Amino acid sequence: MSQTAHIPSHRKPRRSASSRALRAGVTGGILTLTVAGTAVSASAAEPTAETTQELPTLTADLALNTVQSADATQQAAFSYQLQDQQEQAAGKAKSEAKKAKTEAERKAKEAKERAERAAAKRAAAAEKAREQRASRTAERTTLSTTSTTSTSSTSGNSSDASSSDASSTPQTETPSTSTGSGNAAAVVNFVKAQVGKAYIPGAMGPSSYDCSGLTSVAFRQVGVTLPRVSQDQSTFGTQVSLSNLQPGDILYWGSAGSAYHVAVYIGDGQFVGAQNSNTGVVQRSMSYDMPTGAVRVL
């Protein structure tokens, strides 16, 4: 026996190795790792080093669920985006429709206001024309009364022969009386001054006229506004007989209201009118072209 056999060995026993196992698990879609330690003897630690580590993998079902969840999230986001775009488009269309309606209402209102203003102007013009006509009627009544008084006085101082001549040709005696009133003389003098000027349809002077243009401008000299066309001039004023004409009366050819020509009677069986483009403004005898009727404006 060795002398040292009874002496305990001073060697420390080999520290036991700890065996660690790597555990993996999936909780709520999150991969978790757990390391578990187990005390084993030193002799058993080294041989099992390669077998104590375990690394789990995601199953095919987990991967599929993850992909499907991502697709669903993307699809939902796309749906929300599409819905938002549709709502924006609907809002824009509604706004444009409202704007178009407002614009249409504004234009309709403006058109109505223009029509009302035009109607008001026409009514005012018609009222003014009526007032002028009434004024001329009153003036003609006054002039007629004065003319009748003067004619009666002249007839009382004339011989029987002169009275007979006056009765057969009243237009010869009347001119001097009417011309003396002023307005008729002004009209007669004006149309006489235009003799020889050209005839142009629609013209109203100063170098050319048509028939109603000449009469319109002539009466304008004494503040009387005649209708522009011969048809209307043939009914403007008081109808008078061709046997009772006075200077300044308007002669017309054709029926009243549809006359095709007018001229101004200047006395002594004569008239001045813008006849046609060949003759221009001329002074002629009534026997040259007998008128249909006459109207008295002054």
Is 90 in the same domain as 185?
Answer: no
Q: How far apart are CA 106 and CA 102, in angstroms?
A: 6
Residues 263 and 286 in one domain: yes
Q: What is the pLDDT of residue 76?
A: 84
Q: Are 199 and 219 in contact (CB under 8 A)?
A: no
Tell me how far apart the alpha carbons of residues 51 and 119 are, in angstroms, rounded to a whole number. Answer: 110
In a domain, 51, yes or no: yes
Q: Which residue has the tokens 């002539």?
A: 218
pLDDT, tens digit only, all 298 positions of the chain = 555 555 555 555 555 444 454 454 545 545 555 545 544 444 444 444 444 455 455 566 677 777 788 888 888 888 888 888 888 888 889 888 988 999 999 999 888 888 888 877 777 776 666 666 655 555 554 444 444 444 444 344 433 433 333 333 333 333 333 444 689 999 999 999 999 999 999 999 999 999 999 999 999 999 999 999 999 999 999 999 999 999 999 999 999 999 999 999 999 999 999 999 999 999 999 999 999 999 999 9
> Rounded distance, CA 137 to CA 296, Å?
10
| 178 & 286 share domain | yes
Task: Write out the H or E segment, with its range, that includes residue 219.
Answer: helix 211-220
125, part of any domain: yes
Same domain for 292 and 176: yes
Dihedral sign for Cα 119, 124, 125, 126, please: positive
In this structure, is residue 197 part of a structural domain? yes
pLDDT (0 to 100) of residue 114: 87
- pLDDT value of residue 224: 95
| Cα-trace Rg, the chain | 61
Give the range of the structural domain holding residue 116, as residue numbers without chain letter. Answer: 80-157
**Cα separation, 209 vs 217, whole angstroms:** 9
Neighbours of 168 (CB within 10 A): 9
207 with 290, same domain: the answer is yes
> SS3 of 22, please?
strand
Q: Dihedral angle at the C-alpha atoms of 166, 167, 168, 172, nearest 10 degrees?
A: 30
Can you give the pLDDT at residue 157? Answer: 41
The H or E element spanning position 94 is: helix 60-157
Query: Which sign, positive or negative, has the C-alpha torsion 223, 227, 233, 235?
Result: negative
278 in the same domain as 182: yes
The answer as to whether 3 is a domain residue is: no
Number of domains in the chain: 3
Closest by CA to 258, choosing from 214, 292, 219, is: 292
Amino acid at 280: G
Q: CATH code at 253? A: 3.90.1720.10
Tell me the backbone φ, ψ of residue 21, rounded to 5 degrees.
Answer: -115, 130
Helix (H) or strand (E) holding 183: helix 183-193
Q: Are residues 186 and 272 in the same domain?
A: yes
pLDDT of residue 118: 82
Residues 118, 25, single domain; the answer is no
- Whether 50 and 100 map to the same domain: the answer is no
- Whether 195 maps to a domain, the answer reads yes
Q: What pLDDT does residue 23 have?
A: 54
Q: Looking at residue 19, what is its pLDDT?
A: 46
Same domain, 84 and 201: no
